[in-house]
Structure 1
Amino acid sequence: MAKDLERDLGLFAVIAISMGAMIGSGIFILPGVAMAEAGPAVILAFVIAAILVIPAALSIAELGTAMPEAGGDYVFIERGLGPSFGTIAGLGTWLMLMLKGSLALYGGMFYINFIYALPTWDLAIPGLGATLPIPGVRALGITFALVFIAINLVGVKQTGGIQLVMVIVMLVILGGFVAVTIIQVDGANYDPFFAEGIDGVFTATALVLVSYAGVTKVAAVAEEIENPGRNLPLGLLGSLAVTAFLYALLVFVLVGVVDGDQLADSEEPMALATEILFGEAVLAGVPVGTLAVAGIILAAVLALVSTANAGILTASRYPLALSRDDLFLKKFEYIHPRFNTPSVAILVTGAIIVAIVATLEVDEIAKMAGAFQILVYILVCAALIAFRERDLEWYDPDFFTPGYPWVQLFGIVSGIFIITQMETQEILGSIAIVIFGFVWFKLYAEGKIDREGVAKGLARREAGKQFVQDTEAVLERADEFEILIPIRQDVSREQEDAMIQMAAPIVKRRGGHIRVVRFDEVPDQVPLDTAAQELSEADIEFEERTDDLVRYLEVPVEVGEIVSHDTRHAVVNFAERTGADLVLARQEATSRLGTLFGRDTDWILEHAPCDVVFVQHEQPTAVDEIAIVTDRSPFNDPLKVELADAMADVLDARVRFLFAVSEDAPDELLETIEDYHAELDELCTVPVESTIVRTDDDVEGLSAALESADIVMLSTVTHHRLPDLIIEQRSDRLAAAIEQPVLLVHSKQTRRGSFLRPILDRVLFD
């Protein structure tokens, strides 16, 4: 059975990834270096660079919707222009991303050095008030590099949520900086505007191109984007437009408030400008100037270390992809058996980054990165032309580049022109990577492969085949009931069997089928298609034991496997895509502290398109009584009754309703509860008993009354972190107090309660 991949990156995740990769060295490091090349006209360099990226961004958006495969631009070029150009593109992108990561590491350390040397922070502590020598800054960058290499080796998960929060924080800080400083811009700083001539502008353009490398990063994970026809072009163009506008504003302010020579000599231009404007400011005894500088430095360090860490993660995927396609050494395809990460690719990538940080200067790193980036963008535009000009039956993207082919031709011509404006070192570097890639392909890879790109006339249908497919086509089953049982990696065989056996009576009664899907979560360091290609012993064992269990169940069971970077998102997406009526999943009892940090089960409750039931404890050997703790919920109680009645009918069991009231509850309340249970009884086809438990401690009283039950059903709602940390939900307390299997039931029609929900539950039921 083949594993399928799950798209779990939405529009905001695409924007966050793209902007997170772009808002970094572009504004925190390069304005000063670019100022030295172009003078006040440096603002034009950032704008022109953004314009030059547009053809490649549009081409990547179209190709990404036609071939949503991991690897992005490398895959597009390899499929369109052939393996030889694919080798050049893969090596060029790998080098570019390593250079970008190195730039962030090295440049970010100057900001730490800046705050270390602030005279306003000199508190008579030895060392403060003096800058580190350049070797010390390099050593600091190398130290951070080693930390990030270790993080990526063990596969610490990167989350779109954290990335999005960091992008928002940076935008708020930078937006506040512009709002406060733009009124202090001195127009005299822009005279003369073209101090270094138009040649200087073009040289600076080549230097700052690396600021927009986020486009390439998003292309590398195109396979993992949901609804790529909409989210990929919107995410790419939206993030590019916002970032370019922000860069233009920030550079306009920097040039207008900092002396030109001082800015050109600065490795930390944002901190310098803030310190010049606000360094001595004090308000009501508070050193707001120092706080402002600290805020900018915090934003810079967050952006740059995030870029560096992401650079190692993304860059390491390229030698892995090249190796997988037989274009590079096979050892780069090695996946560590314990951490499930491409350890060889990460170690080599990290070693090269360390070497770059140790030897090259900031401007050299930026210029080399820009050269390799524009080379790849030229090839991307050429690849799109190759696909469009061939009559390919399978090439059917969800998004078509407007202005074809003139947009792509502009991208190719402008890219070649910018390369010619670079210094000799960068031109020779671009030529060297082309020659090395071609020679490497001829000597190492040509004899191992028998494929060509579409430009040479061999249009391979496999190139356009979407790797991400459903486990099977969604059948039209309007009258059938489907239960989805997601199996996580930490679920034992006994727990898996128990859930299937609980689902079987419900499906047998309702008519339908069970869909058992194993969800494998892999680190972000591993492309999804790489993880899906290999079947582990656990995968094979899962298939065999599921087949054995299905043989004696009298209901249809379908089995599948999904690989994703985010299991909870994958479960919800799969349930929505297949039209599941009920998700039946395992939930371990969690601590209240675990609730504070957010639980995957709560996320599933909030986003699932269907009813959800979580199972705690083990399945009993025999079922004679199913107990339902009612709570007068207009949606959860009927769902509990429906499920319990179906199970009891097939298992020849009885159902019992329980409701807890205080010892001094009035007779009117008892009559109301009895009438309510009678109404629920009418929904059942099996014998039903009703029990009203008088107790001043409903958890203790219900626990005692539930001793005869074999299965207990409770309602559950989304937890609210801090409020639930203070006042624990009754269902959690009751589930923890009993030993029987517990089904925590949540109807999709139940509205999400506010943070007052646990407080009201405590008042009403305790």
Structure 2
Amino acid sequence: MTKDLERDLGLGAVIAISMGAMIGSGIFILPGVAMAEAGPAVILAFVIAAILVVPAALSIAELGTAMPEAGGDYVFIERGLGPSFGTIAGLGTWLMLMLKGSLALYGGMFYINFIYQLPTWELAIPLLEATLPIPGVRALGITFALIFIGINLIGVKQTGGIQSIMVVIMLVILGVFVAATIVQVDGANYDGFFDEGIDGILGATALVLVSYAGVTKVAAVAEEIENPGRNLPLGLSISLGVTAFLYALIVFVLVGVMEADDLEGHNEPMAEATRLLFGETVIGGVPIGGLAVGGIIIAAVLALVSTANAGILTASRYPLALSRDKLFLERFEYIHPRFNTPTVAILTTGAVIIFIVATQNVDEIAKMAGAFQILVYILVCGALIAFRERDLEWYDPDFHTPGYPWVQLFGILSGIFIITQMEAREILGSIGIVILGFLWFKLYAADKVDREGVAKGLARREAGRQFVQDTEEQLERADEFEILIPIRQDVTREQEDALIHMAAPIVRQRGGHIRVVRFDEVPDQVPLDTAAAELSEADVEFEQRTDELVCDLEVPVEVGEIVSHDTRHAVVNFAERSSADLILARQEATSRLGTLFGRDTDWIMEHAPCDVVFVQHEQRTDINEIAVVTDRSPFNDPLKVELANAMADVLGARIRFLFAVDESAPEELLETIEDYHDELDDLCTVPVDSAIVRTDDVVSSLSSELESSDLVMLSTVTHRRLPDLVVEQRSDRLAAAIEQPVLLVHSKQTRRGSFLRPILDRLLFN
């Protein structure tokens, strides 16, 4: 049995990942430092840098749709040009990401330091006028680095939703900044536009290249992208275009509103510009200028420390990937048994970042990161040419780079040219990483690997994967009833067995099969393919015990495992791909406070392409009576009756319909309910009883009536967070009040009610 990987990143997530990694140092740190190199022509440096990134971005998009594997640029280079170049790319990317993370972390501390320089009246908060010395800024950066290392070590989950929100907030803040300042642009500030000459522009270009490193960051999770043929190239194009335009626009404004002496060399240009323009603005006694400066500082710190934290996460994947491919020390493959994170890789990455923050200056960090970045981009363009020029049947990308091979050749030649225009330190660093990579491969890894560029093993693996997928699609038949049983990591063996035994009668009566899929959720710090490659004792036990159970059942059962960063997305996506008719899953009772923070079960009900049933409490061995609590729901009642009839028919059980009404309910209502139950009776193929419970306390009375039943079926709907915190759903209260196993049934056709739904339910049925 092999584990599959789950694709759950859409177009929005691709854009958010790329832009979230780019909107940081390029805007908040580098404009002032770069202007010291290029003067007012610094805007050209940002535009040229974006153009230099385009060939690599397009190449990444094509390679990502042809080989949607976790690992991104390193994997593409290693597979295309061979493990020796892959070693260079892996080490170079690792260093580049550590430098980028260090730049964001160090730069963010300058914005915190900026607060101490402001008079108290400007911020309207009691701060002392002081300035942290440079060692103090470095110490603050090291402190934050230690915090982020700890976060990544314990595997605190990062979500695409938070990333998306951060990007939107950044765009809003920066948009307001541009709108408020562009009217104050002074054309005189652009006098002497080319005074620093082409050398100054190229030097600034090398400095700001790191601003665009995030555009290809999403390639590291290419295997997790949904519909990569569309979302990867489109997401990369949108994120690069929007970010480049935003950079150019903001730099245009910064140069136009600030004197050269005020901008050049500043590590916090956005805050300085806001202070100079609005620092003394007071409206209605409110220091608007102070609020504006504070807003910019908060935005900068959030963006930069978020980039730094993500940098540790992303960078640590590269030594892990190199080690997994036998190109680096084996100890970097170590995964912590409790937190399931690559401990050695994270600690080493964090230590290097701390060293960089403690010893290097902002411009030095940025230039060295840019040098390593452009080196990797050169290799990416070369890898695409290698794949294109080999006649490989399996290489069939959904997206083809326009202008091949001229775009790639331009990327290679322009990259080599820009490296030659850098300072000696960056040139020697680029040459050094190439030499180090080759020597490391020859002396350490050459005798450990037996593959070459565009390896035959890769071709066979990809072709085999496609063959399995095509065969699976051919074997699926629309007339079969399929039940998907997702097994989470916290489900016990007994609970898993109970779910399968509960599904078996339905499948036996309806025909079809059961899919039992174990969903392993790993932290964002662990690449999916790394987690999928490891077969733990729990995986082996799951496979063995499921095989043993299947032998005792008279229905076909398929078993599989899926690794993902988000189990609920993985379950829904798998149900859609496999055309499941019903999801049967375990659900523990959730507190009302838990509902407030959002439940995975609600998300699954809302997004699942099929009916969903959640099981609470332990199943009884013998089932003689199945109780169905009816509520005349146009969707859930038919589904409950269908499932109850199928189970009772196979198990030789009977069905009992129960309906609760108020003590003062009119006789006409009782007659309507009796007629309704009679109609349900006619549809069933097993013995049926029915009863109407008249009560002023529905939960108490129904729980008493249900004591004789062996299995209870209730309707459920998605929870509304605040309303359900105030008025708990009747099905939740009833399920908690009884000891029998409960099936909470939700039809895919059920319409989600408004926020008044639980209140109306309480008024009508309590």
Instruction: Give the alignment's TM-score, normalised by structure 2.
Output: 0.97
1:115 maps to 115
1:499 maps to 499
Between stretches 569-578 and 207-216, larger displacement belongs to: 207-216
Deviation, structure 1 residue 323: 0.9
Matches within 5 A, 1:354-373: 354-373=354-373
Q: Determine helix, strand or coil for the equivalent of 1:682.
A: helix
2:388 maps to 388
1:579 maps to 579
- CA contact under 8 A between 2:122 and 2:287: conserved in structure 1? no
Deviation, structure 1 residue 129: 1.2
Matches within 5 A, 1:83-102: 83-102=83-102
Q: Distance in 2 between matches of 1:747 and 1:423?
A: 66
Q: Determine helix, strand or coil for the equivalent of 2:718.
A: coil
Q: Distance in 1 between matches of 2:49 and 2:660?
A: 69
Deviation, structure 1 residue 382: 0.8
Deviation, structure 1 residue 148: 0.6
Deviation, structure 1 residue 476: 2.4
Deviation, structure 1 residue 472: 7.6
1:647 maps to 647
Matches within 5 A, 1:596-635: 596-635=596-635
- 1:331-364 C-alpha deviation (Å, 9 max, x unpaired): 1111111111111111111100000000000000
2:559 maps to 559
- CA contact under 8 A between 1:324 and 1:333: conserved in structure 2? yes
Q: Distance in 2 between matches of 1:466 and 1:316?
A: 30
2:230 maps to 230
2:152 maps to 152
Instruction: Give the alignment's TM-score, normalised by structure 1.
Output: 0.97
Q: Distance in 2 between matches of 1:94 and 1:316?
A: 7
- CA contact under 8 A between 1:121 and 1:129: conserved in structure 2? no
Question: In the alignment, residue 668 of structure 1 is paired with which amino acid?
Answer: E
Between stretches 274-283 and 353-362, larger displacement belongs to: 274-283
Q: Determine helix, strand or coil for the equivalent of 1:728.
A: coil
What are the ranges of 5 or more consecutive residues in structure 1 without an aligned counterpart? none
Q: Distance in 2 between matches of 1:572 and 1:125?
A: 49
Deviation, structure 1 residue 254: 1.1
Q: Determine helix, strand or coil for the equivalent of 1:416.
A: helix
Q: Distance in 2 between matches of 1:622 and 1:463?
A: 47
Q: Distance in 2 between matches of 1:173 and 1:471?
A: 48
Deviation, structure 1 residue 285: 2.5
- CA contact under 8 A between 1:636 and 1:715: conserved in structure 2? yes
Residue correspondences, number: 764
- CA contact under 8 A between 2:341 and 2:525: conserved in structure 1? yes
1:377 aligns with 2:370: no
Q: Distance in 1 between matches of 2:137 and 2:464?
A: 46
Deviation, structure 1 residue 117: 2.8
1:259 maps to 259
- CA contact under 8 A between 2:729 and 2:761: conserved in structure 1? yes
Q: Distance in 1 between matches of 2:703 and 2:462?
A: 59
Deviation, structure 1 residue 214: 1.0
- CA contact under 8 A between 2:120 and 2:127: conserved in structure 1? no
Deviation, structure 1 residue 309: 0.7
1:189 maps to 189
2:472 maps to 473
- 1:216-272 C-alpha deviation (Å, 9 max, x unpaired): 311111111111111110111111111111111111111111111111131111111
2:452 maps to 452
Q: Distance in 2 between matches of 1:687 and 1:258?
A: 85
- CA contact under 8 A between 1:14 and 1:218: conserved in structure 2? yes
1:461 maps to 459
Matches within 5 A, 1:216-615: 216-454=216-454, 460-462=458-460, 464=462, 473-474=472-473, 475-615=475-615
Between stretches 574-583 and 122-131, larger displacement belongs to: 122-131
Q: Distance in 1 between matches of 2:121 and 2:412?
A: 50
Deviation, structure 1 residue 658: 1.2
Question: How large is the Cα RMSD of the aligned pairs?
Answer: 1.7
Between stretches 110-119 and 405-414, larger displacement belongs to: 110-119
2:200 maps to 200
Q: Distance in 2 between matches of 1:283 and 1:597?
A: 39
Q: Distance in 2 between matches of 1:399 and 1:76?
A: 15
Q: Distance in 1 between matches of 2:671 and 2:3?
A: 55
Q: Distance in 1 between matches of 2:127 and 2:678?
A: 79
Deviation, structure 1 residue 462: 4.5
Question: In the alignment, residue 694 of structure 1 is paired with which amino acid?
Answer: R
Q: Determine helix, strand or coil for the equivalent of 2:46.
A: helix
Q: Determine helix, strand or coil for the equivalent of 2:659.
A: strand
Matches within 5 A, 1:170-181: 170-181=170-181
2:735 maps to 735
Q: Determine helix, strand or coil for the equivalent of 2:447.
A: helix
- CA contact under 8 A between 2:626 and 2:644: conserved in structure 1? yes
Q: Distance in 2 between matches of 1:462 and 1:134?
A: 55
Deviation, structure 1 residue 623: 0.8
Question: In the alignment, residue 234 of structure 1 is paired with which amino acid?
Answer: L
What are the ranges of 5 or more consecutive residues in structure 2 without an aligned counterpart? none
Q: Determine helix, strand or coil for the equivalent of 1:707.
A: helix
For residues 765 and 103 of structure 1, do their structure 2 counterparts lie closer, same or farther at Cα, with a shift above 3 Å needed?
A: same
1:659 maps to 659
Q: Distance in 1 between matches of 2:463 and 2:304?
A: 37
Question: In the alignment, residue 308 of structure 2 is paired with which amino acid?
Answer: A
Deviation, structure 1 residue 58: 0.4
Q: Distance in 2 between matches of 1:315 and 1:492?
A: 35
Q: Distance in 1 between matches of 2:557 and 2:456?
A: 41
For residues 533 and 610 of structure 1, do their structure 2 counterparts lie closer, same or farther at Cα, with a shift above 3 Å needed?
A: same
Deviation, structure 1 residue 467: 6.8
Q: Distance in 1 between matches of 2:647 and 2:190?
A: 79
Deviation, structure 1 residue 127: 7.0
- 1:366-396 C-alpha deviation (Å, 9 max, x unpaired): 0000000000001100110111111112211
Q: Distance in 2 between matches of 1:470 and 1:756?
A: 45
- 1:591-629 C-alpha deviation (Å, 9 max, x unpaired): 111111111111111111000001111101211111111
- 1:103-141 C-alpha deviation (Å, 9 max, x unpaired): 010000111111233213589999721110000000000
- 1:439-476 C-alpha deviation (Å, 9 max, x unpaired): 1111111122221114xx97851475587976982322
Between stretches 80-89 and 681-690, larger displacement belongs to: 681-690
Identical-residue share of aligned pairs (%): 84
Between stretches 135-144 and 656-665, larger displacement belongs to: 656-665
Question: In the alignment, residue 22 of structure 1 is paired with which amino acid?
Answer: M
Q: Determine helix, strand or coil for the equivalent of 2:516.
A: strand
Question: In the alignment, residue 313 of structure 1 is paired with which amino acid?
Answer: L
2:744 maps to 744
Question: In the alignment, residue 151 of structure 1 is paired with which amino acid?
Answer: I
Q: Distance in 2 between matches of 1:141 and 1:482?
A: 54
- CA contact under 8 A between 1:5 and 1:467: conserved in structure 2? no
